[in-house]
C-alpha cells in the first residue's frame, strides 16, 4: 500500500522537540524529511543518558524519540556555500519547518519572504515560543516555562502542594501536532490556489488552546480553576482510588455509571441518595461521597475492582509504569512499538484502511543522507 504523503519533500531546520515532532509525523505519513543540522548536530543528540550506541555513533534516546525516518545533511548556512546548498534543497521542496528565534533566519536571507521567491509553492512553518508578533515575540520559548505561563501548572498538582509540570514536554508535543495539522491544511489550500504560505506557530498559543474546559471554566465564571490533584473539576467520581494493593482510576461519566459503581461497592443506598443523585449534587458533596466510596475500594484488590468495573460497564483502568505499558496486550496488539534496524521506537498513532505508514529507517546519524 502507498503512504498518504508519498512524494512530498520536507526540509527540517528545527531542533529539540516541537519542530522535529512535526517533521517525524510527516515522515511517518510518507513524506521525505531532510533534517538540516549544524556541524555539531541537533542539541538533543547529547541529551542523555540514556544513549543508543550503534556503529561508532552514540546518540541520546531523546533524539531518537522525535527524528525517526529522516535523513541528515550537515549545512553551515552562515557561509555562502552552506546558504547555497540550503537554497537548492528548498527549490523543489513542499514544506520547510524551522524553529529559530524571530528574525534568526532573515539575516541569512532564509526567511519566508526570501525563500518564497525561490519557491512560491513553499509552505514555510515557523515554530517559536511566542509567535512572530506581540510583546514576547523576541523571547526564546521553553516548554517548562510555557507550561507555567499557559496556566497548565496552576491546575496541576495537589491542592495544598506546589504547582507541577507534566512528565513530558507536552507544549512542545502539542505544538508539533498542531503544526502538522496546519501544514496539511496549507497543502490542501495550495491545491486550490497554487501558492504556498507562512505558518506562524507558537508554543504559548498551543498551550493556551489545550486548556480546553479549564479555560472555559474560567471564561464563563470569572473564577480561576485551582489545582485538584487527581480528581476532575467537573465530574465525580472521576479520580484515583486506593485499593488493597495499589491504586486504579475510576472515571464515571454519567449517573448510570455512578449507580453501577455503588452496586459494585455494596452501597445501594448511595445510588439513590438525593445528595449524590446527579453529577451536580455529587460535585457539591464530593468530599463526603469520595470518603464513603474509598472506604470500600480499599477492601478490594486492583484486579478485583477492575474486573468488576469492566463487567458492569464502569470506566476504570490501571496506572501503568512504562514496562507495563509496553507489555499491555492492547499496546502489543496495536503494534505501537516498532524496531528499526535494532533501534526501538514508537510509531505515530495513525491506522488507515487503504494506506500505511513509512517506518523504514531509524533516526539518522549526523550527516547520514543515504
Instruction: Determine the Cα angle at 273 with ends 237 and 288, to 5°.
Output: 50
172: annotated active-site residue: yes
Instruction: Give, in degrees to the nearest 5, the angle at Cα 240 between 255 and 253.
Output: 20
Q: What are 229-234's contacts with CB under 8 Å, separation 24+?
A: 229/157, 229/158, 229/159, 231/286, 231/290, 233/155, 234/283
> How many CA atoms does the CB half-sphere of 50 hold within 13 Å?
5
Q: Which helix (H) or strand (E) holds 250?
A: strand 246-251
Strand-pair category, 71-74 with 32-37:
parallel
3-class DSSP assignment, residue 144 = helix
Task: Give yes or no for a contact between 126 and 99, defined as CB atoms under 8 angstroms apart.
Answer: yes
Question: In the block, which residue shows the cell 461521597?
Answer: 289
Angle at 74 between CA 68 and CA 77, to 5 degrees: 125
- Exactly one of 28, 143, 172, 205 is catalytic; which is it? 172
Give dist(CA 362, CA 343) in Å, integer. 7
DSSP characters for 27-42?
A: HHTT-EEEEEE-TT--
Spatial CA neighbour of 348 closest among 9, 33, 7, 15? 33
Residues paired with 123 in a beta bridge: 95, 197
Q: What residues form DSSP beta bridges with 127?
A: 201
Residues marked active site are found at 172
Amino acid at each position: 500500500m502507498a503512504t498518504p504523503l508519498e512524494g512530498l519533500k520536507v526540509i527540517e531546520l528545527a531542533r529539540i522537540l516541537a519542530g522535529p515532532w512535526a517533521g517525524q509525523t510527516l515522515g511517518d505519513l510518507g513524506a521525505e524529511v531532510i533534517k538540516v543540522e549544524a556541524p555539531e548536530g541537533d542539541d538533543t543528540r547529547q541529551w542523555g543518558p540514556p544513549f543508543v550506541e550503534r556503529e561508532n555513533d552514540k546518540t541520546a534516546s531523546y533524539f531518537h524519540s522525535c527524528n525517526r525516518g529522516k535523513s541528515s545533511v550537515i549545512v553551515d548556512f552562515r557561509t555562502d556555500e552552506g546558504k547555497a546548498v540550503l537554497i537548492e534543497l528548498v527549490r523543489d521542496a513542499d514544506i520547510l519547518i524551522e524553529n529559530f528565534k524571530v528574525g534568526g533566519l532573515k539575516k541569512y536571507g532564509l526567511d519566508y519572504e526570501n525563500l518564497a521567491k525561490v519557491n512560491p509553492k513553499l509552505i514555510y512553518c515557523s515554530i517559536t515560543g511566542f509567535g512572530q508578533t506581540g510583546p514576547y515575540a523576541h523571547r526564546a520559548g521553553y516548554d517548562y516555562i510555557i507550561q507555567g505561563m499557559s496556566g497548565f501548572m496552576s491546575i496541576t498538582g495537589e491542592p495544598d502542594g506546589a504547582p507541577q509540570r507534566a512528565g513530558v514536554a507536552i507544549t512542545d508535543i502539542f505544538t508539533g501536532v498542531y503544526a502538522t495539522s496546519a501544514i496539511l491544511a496549507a497543502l490542501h489550500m495550495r491545491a486550490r490556489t497554487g501558492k504556498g504560505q507562512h505558518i506562524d506557530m507558537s508554543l504559548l498559543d498551543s498551550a493556551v488552546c489545550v486548556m480546553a474546559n479549564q479555560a472555559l471554566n474560567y471564561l464563563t465564571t470569572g473564577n480561576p480553576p485551582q489545582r485538584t490533584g487527581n480528581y476532575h473539576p467537573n465530574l465525580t467520581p472521576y479520580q484515583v482510588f486506593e485499593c488493597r494493593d495499589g491504586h486504579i482510576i475510576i472515571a464515571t461519566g454519567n449517573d448510570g455509571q455512578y449507580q453501577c459503581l455503588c452496586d459494585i461497592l455494596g452501597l445501594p443506598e448511595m445510588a439513590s441518595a438525593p445528595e449524590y443523585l446527579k453529577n451536580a449534587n455529587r460535585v457539591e458533596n464530593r468530599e463526603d461521597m469520595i470518603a464513603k466510596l474509598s472506604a470500600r475500594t480499599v477492601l478490594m484488590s486492583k484486579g478485583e475492582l477492575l474486573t468488576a468495573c469492566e463487567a458492569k460497564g464502569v470506566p476504570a483502568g490501571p496506572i501503568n509504569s512504562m514496562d507495563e505499558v509496553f507489555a499491555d496486550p492492547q499496546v502489543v496488539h496495536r503494534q505501537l512499538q516498532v524496531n528499526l534496524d535494532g533501534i526501538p521506537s514508537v510509531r505515530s498513532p495513525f491506522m488507515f484502511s487503504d494506506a500505511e505508514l513509512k517506518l523504514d529507517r531509524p533516526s539518522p546519524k549526523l550527516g547520514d543522507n543515504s
